[in-house]
Structure 1
Amino acid sequence: MFEEADNFADIFRFGIPYYLLITLPILILCSSDPVLATDFSVHRMSQFDVNGVSYGCRSSALNLEAKSLYTWSTSRHCVVTRFKDLSIEKFREIRAKAGGLVILLPKNIENLNEEEKEHLFLLEDAMISQASTIPIYFSKYNEELDRLIDDITSTNLKNSKGQNVRESALAEIINSISANGYQITVTGASHSADKHSKIPIIQGELAPLISIKVGGDQENSNKLPIIVVVAHLKTFGLYNEYPENSDVAIVLSLADLFSKLHNSVTAAPKYRLMFLISESGALLNFQGTKKWLDENTQTQNIDFVLCLDTINQPLSTKTNAIYMHVSKPPKDNTPVSNFFKHLKQSCITYDNVTAEGVHKKINLADNQLAWEHERFSMKRLPAFTLSSLNSHKDISKVTSFKYNNDVVLRNAEQNVKILAEALAKYVYKIEENGEIFSGVVNIDKDLIKPWLQVKSILHNNDLKNGFEKYLKNVKIIYEKPDTREPDFMLYDGQEAVLNFYRIKPAVFDLFLTVIIAIYLTGIYFAIQYFPKLYVSVCQMSKMEKVKSI
């Protein structure tokens, strides 16, 4: 029996050091396996090029340790924070030094005060106006992600003033070892250029069904003066989601109203109305409008071009006015001047709405145009933009944040009434006050509501079907980037899945390594000196027996 014990000890005496070299790394690797906490659907920050200038997020790969806005320090960290907690200064620092950024969007922007809204708009503008080399992702409000942000944020290291509170060294070591960490990975994202990207431009027109007598002669409808009503469909903003597109809903509502008039034999106006919607706004420098003008060089008999841009922006509550932006002040008794008089007269119906003119010259040195009408003005066409914003620099002009549909619908109904009345009085040359659209052609919310959620022609046929329902000579053209020197470029990989893995920090692995090493060392020495211990125990037991005898 003693010989068996010696042989057993001899086996471990020579084998344990090798077992240590093999077992220890295996145990360390097993202790570091991450556990999937949860995953979220996210949008990568928009990426696009305009006239050779890059904007938005330029990368997509993300596999980093998650840190809070207050605890990150290196490019090996991905900052996870709420949009409202992020400042412009912090964002610029993160963009320059961190490895990635994940932002939780507000739950409801309507619950924010004016100061908080302005902060969101300023931060949004700072993000989209430059290129960012780190991957940036946005998540719609999610309670689980909100809880994870609280978990990641080390609030116990902050006092009420936000200054660091020093604890004892032992307490900090214990906190470091017991803390939970998170690893963030992203699947399904890319940032490759979409060589097949294109911008749809759809147009249609209204003309009287029969020839109209002008001065005793039969006038062909093709020779009638033209009014062009223009809007752009925003297909993306700060991230890949449709922003507010009530401008397009108003244009389609006007098309619906005036189609009833043009289809009437007795009430048809002596004008042709052309409706134009391009799927490129200020972010893409109105490239769709540029394409349409390049293909329609024979633009004759145009009285004026009426562009709509953010006319229904409820997020801007500082004023309640409609601004007419022009590149050159209109002269008296010109079509633009006469329409402006009718617009002001229509606004009088609403006590809290005014119409004001804003003059801004076109700056050809700027990389991007201020308003869409400037594309037409550069072709010497009389044009203007109607907007609820008094400046193209207003930070809410290209916002991705949306308001409640009921608020949007109420504002859209009011703006449709104002524009329809002003346009009708102009084409019918009515000077006296009075309401034209009432009774059978009454304007209500049901007229506008179906068009508030209209999508791109590339996604469905709702916009095309709407044009074909109300208008004639519907035509769709596409603007595509040039293969050698593209004016614009869009990119793929805007939607992805964000995975959170629960892990222990590196200091925990070091602590576990020390504990395992101590344990195995104790076992080694216990087995190494087991024979001597056994002999000592046997001798002690014999002495006990001798004393008892």
Structure 2
Amino acid sequence: MGLGGLPDTKSACMFKISVVRLLIYCIFTFKNFSETSETFTVYRCQQHDLQGVAIGSRVASMECEAQALGSRLVSRRCLVLSLSDASVGKLENATFNNVAGVLIVLPSHEWSRDLEERFVNFEHELLSTELALPVYFVFEDSVIAAIQKDLNERAEMEAHGGVISSRLSSGTYFKAISNVLWSTGHRLVVHSAPVSRLDHASLVNIEVKLVYIGTDPFKGYLRSNAEQNLPVVVVCAHYDALSAIPSLSHGADANGSGVVALLELARIFAHIFGSYGTRPKYDLVFLLSGGGNYNYMGSKRWVDQMSKETNGLAFLDSVAYVICLEGLGSSQFANAIFAHLSRPPKHGSFSHQFLRNVNLSSVLHWGNVSSAVITPSHPSYVYPVHKKINLNEDFLSWEHERFSTYRLPGVTLSSWPSHHIANQMRHRSFDGGPVYRTLACSGIQVTRTCFRGTVCPSVLARNTRIVAEALFRTVFEIEDVQAVLDTTFVRRQWITDDSVTAVLDLVVRHPRSSQLLLDSDEYPPSVSPHLREPRSRLLQSLVYLMKSLLHHVHVVRHPLSPQSAGKQVKSAGKFRPSATEDDESVTFGGPGDTHSSRSPAVAYSSAFGDVDVVLYTASGPATMSVYRLKSSAFDLFVALAIGFYLAVLYFILEVSTSLLFCGCFVSYLGRLICQRCVRIL
């Protein structure tokens, strides 16, 4: 068909070219709607089991479309809300409505006091609630703010009934239609390995004993036999932190300040004990314990280890006192130091003398040297707080109570006046970390991004000097004469703000949640190596720092809970507990620091017993991808528009083809008529 074939072939080619042109136009016109390269660092909510009770978020993976709090909760969607709107009740309501996940946006600017208090209360509720959905936290930025704005606008339209409303004017009607068509949805995706139990979770104790040997160059003095078994003073602080967000558990004041004070004391007394002519009346042991936020399991494992060994029993009998350090960096409570005791000290005891020296040292290092003599009318800067141990409670209030259960006298020195306030100050995510804060330091308001939280280096340095002065006077048994009452033995230059700040930044630089301090071999085999959280180098740094100051650093790894050791807790009626050889050896820095340990599995009451703790994987920071999606109404509109365009194009091509065919036919008839007329003529 020469007459009709040519137009049909031409129209088909034109139709194909038009379709390709339309596709190219759609790709380049709507390219910005398909861009999905937005990623954020998010922080998962805490997950662990404590005393058989499941706590925290139980799911890690999340892939769903985002929705705002003002919209109707739809199943399989992710709820995005600001911290000011977050509460455990809303999270439980989201769980009831089968919401697929929750993303809580944290402010990146300076926090108000009300917002901080709200977040602290919210954290404490999270640490006692089980949530069957993934909960993540993210810091606000311009992209997150834009996403929240889009979600809130969509929620507002839903609240007003959408576009179907007779009260809307024509202009508002078409504007609402336009908003619905051009609104953008957001799909949140967090890929995570399945959450697994850490059945072999452990804690690490770092111990060093400071013993004076004697090196008089003139007399060749060595330690005599009578001085071989001097009484021992133990200085202890736990280094781990706990909060509702493991990746943000920096713990500057709880208990980074205690760790810093212990390291500074170790540095000062290592220098003092190494000097010529000094003969202390006590040996010192510095203990950095793990598991402090799990009922001080590190201290319990340390005492149980000593109880098993023959030399350890003799060592425990020689312990004169245990000094625990916690929360010494804040000036929120009248710049005072509180000595928390299980019972009032007896007159003439080590505890009585040490507390007396602490009170004297506080006066000396507060700058009031001229009137340093303590009189009944003299103001006291150290306040003893007596609290009996309640053995029926599941958790102890202070670390010295763990030693008191083994009849080892002790005290906890802290800036916190009571265990109720201590429970409020502990378990806080933003106790240090990269957060804008306004700190009151020596009367000057400073705004900065720091890793120190509410810790003021000058306050921490002063409190450390007070403890060092009191410990020096007690260890060397300085007599109470007027000549020495007006003199400070620990100089201000020995413990400065700069030295404290350097160690504090080292301790608080990385989060210290127990899950993030584990070895890679403590993860179950089902978790791939590339999916395991990178282990914090804090322990190696602490061991290296201790080895640079002292020799014979003992690093011992213990099981965190009886389940980690593979055995259950049993009961016994004796004071000295029996033990099982379930602890492992761990090496840091060299073979000389490898020591086996054997921990007992015996409980007498809730306070004496082990804590049943189960940790889980997927506690580190994760990456969230945000994909921009158009609404279903937009997809329908585009489909209708493309269909309409193709229909019109097809109609035009068909009409043009018909007209062309008619023209060709008329032309052909004209030529025939002309030819016939010519023949007739």
Q: How far is the alpha carbon of 1:476 from its aligned partner?
A: 1.0
**Inter-CA distance 156–58: structure 2 relative to 1 (3 Å threshold):** closer
Equivalent residue for 2:614? 489
Q: How far is the alpha carbon of 1:505 from its aligned partner?
A: 2.1
Equivalent residue for 1:130? 129
Amino acid of the structure 2 residue aligned with 1:138: F
What does 1:502-513 correspond to in 2, within 5 Å? 502-513=628-639
Equivalent residue for 1:269? 280
- CA RMSD, Structure 1 to Structure 2 (Å): 4.1
Matched, 1:206 2:216: no
Amino acid of the structure 2 residue aligned with 1:310: G
**Inter-CA distance 85–348: structure 2 relative to 1 (3 Å threshold):** farther
Q: How far is the alpha carbon of 1:255 from its aligned partner?
A: 0.6
* Kept in 2: contact 1:199–1:280 (CA 8 A): yes
* Kept in 1: contact 2:359–2:380 (CA 8 A): no
* Kept in 2: contact 1:457–1:463 (CA 8 A): no
Equivalent residue for 2:523? none
Q: Tell me the alpha carbon deviations over residues 112-144 of structure 1, each in whole angstroms, 9 at most, x when there is no partner.
A: 343332112111212223332211223345444
- Counterpart of 2:357 (choices 326, 331, 342) is 342
Alpha-carbon distance in 2 for matches of 1:250, 1:34? 54
* Kept in 1: contact 2:242–2:428 (CA 8 A): no
- Counterpart of 2:468 (choices 420, 425, 443) is 420
Q: How far is the alpha carbon of 1:72 from its aligned partner?
A: 5.8
Structure 2: runs of 5 or more not aligned? 13-18, 165-172, 217-222, 308-312, 369-378, 438-449, 511-516, 520-535, 569-610, 668-681
The total of aligned residue pairs comes to 518
**Inter-CA distance 288–31: structure 2 relative to 1 (3 Å threshold):** same
**Inter-CA distance 52–540: structure 2 relative to 1 (3 Å threshold):** farther
* Kept in 1: contact 2:79–2:101 (CA 8 A): yes
SS of alignment partner, residue 617 of structure 2? coil
- Counterpart of 1:239 (choices 246, 260, 274) is 246
Equivalent residue for 2:296? 286
Alpha-carbon distance in 2 for matches of 1:330, 1:172? 76
Q: How far is the alpha carbon of 1:186 from its aligned partner?
A: 1.2
Amino acid of the structure 1 residue aligned with 2:148: I
**Inter-CA distance 186–220: structure 2 relative to 1 (3 Å threshold):** farther
Equivalent residue for 1:101? 102
SS of alignment partner, residue 56 of structure 1? strand
- Counterpart of 2:412 (choices 378, 385, 396) is 385
Alpha-carbon distance in 2 for matches of 1:488, 1:252? 29
Alpha-carbon distance in 2 for matches of 1:250, 1:240? 24
Alpha-carbon distance in 2 for matches of 1:537, 1:435? 120
Q: How far is the alpha carbon of 1:318 from its aligned partner?
A: 5.0
Q: How far is the alpha carbon of 1:100 from its aligned partner?
A: 1.4
- Counterpart of 2:326 (choices 302, 306, 309) is 309
What TM-score does the superposition give when structure 2 sets the normalisation length?
0.66
Matched, 1:396 2:403: no
Q: Tell me the alpha carbon deviations over residues 117-173 of structure 1, each in whole angstroms, 9 at most, x when there is no partner.
A: 211211121222333221122334544434433443329939xxxx96677534544
* Kept in 2: contact 1:54–1:131 (CA 8 A): yes
* Kept in 2: contact 1:271–1:427 (CA 8 A): yes
Q: Tell me the alpha carbon deviations over residues 316-335 of structure 1, each in whole angstroms, 9 at most, x when there is no partner.
A: x2543222223333333332
Amino acid of the structure 2 residue aligned with 1:224: L
Alpha-carbon distance in 2 for matches of 1:301, 1:149? 63
Q: Tell me the alpha carbon deviations over residues 473-523 of structure 1, each in whole angstroms, 9 at most, x when there is no partner.
A: 321111222236593332222222111111112332344344445556667
* Kept in 2: contact 1:32–1:509 (CA 8 A): no
Alpha-carbon distance in 1 for matches of 2:348, 2:178? 81
* Kept in 1: contact 2:154–2:183 (CA 8 A): no
* Kept in 2: contact 1:84–1:106 (CA 8 A): no
**Inter-CA distance 512–370: structure 2 relative to 1 (3 Å threshold):** farther
* Kept in 2: contact 1:188–1:497 (CA 8 A): no
SS of alignment partner, residue 501 of structure 1? strand
SS of alignment partner, residue 552 of structure 2? strand
Q: How far is the alpha carbon of 1:392 from its aligned partner?
A: 3.1
Q: Tell me the alpha carbon deviations over residues 527-546 of structure 1, each in whole angstroms, 9 at most, x when there is no partner.
A: 899998989999999xxxxx
Amino acid of the structure 1 residue aligned with 2:102: L
Alpha-carbon distance in 1 for matches of 2:320, 2:272? 19
Alpha-carbon distance in 1 for matches of 2:518, 2:77? 40
Alpha-carbon distance in 2 for matches of 1:94, 1:223? 63
Q: Tell me the alpha carbon deviations over residues 353-400 of structure 1, each in whole angstroms, 9 at most, x when there is no partner.
A: 832233333333433332222211211211222222233343221212
Q: How far is the alpha carbon of 1:421 from its aligned partner?
A: 1.6
* Kept in 2: contact 1:229–1:274 (CA 8 A): yes
Alpha-carbon distance in 2 for matches of 1:484, 1:529? 88
Equivalent residue for 1:52? 52
Amino acid of the structure 2 residue aligned with 1:73: L
SS of alignment partner, residue 154 of structure 1? helix
Alpha-carbon distance in 2 for matches of 1:268, 1:451? 29
Equivalent residue for 2:531? none
Amino acid of the structure 1 residue aligned with 2:406: K
What does 1:255-266 correspond to in 2, within 5 Å? 255-266=266-277
**Inter-CA distance 353–119: structure 2 relative to 1 (3 Å threshold):** farther
Moved more, 483-492 or 63-72: 483-492
**Inter-CA distance 346–49: structure 2 relative to 1 (3 Å threshold):** same
Equivalent residue for 1:478? 557
Q: Tell me the alpha carbon deviations over residues 448-484 of structure 1, each in whole angstroms, 9 at most, x when there is no partner.
A: 2332123769643221122223334321111222236
Moved more, 69-78 or 258-267: 69-78
Moved more, 388-397 or 121-130: 388-397
Alpha-carbon distance in 1 for matches of 2:354, 2:301? 27
SS of alignment partner, residue 320 of structure 1? coil
**Inter-CA distance 499–447: structure 2 relative to 1 (3 Å threshold):** same
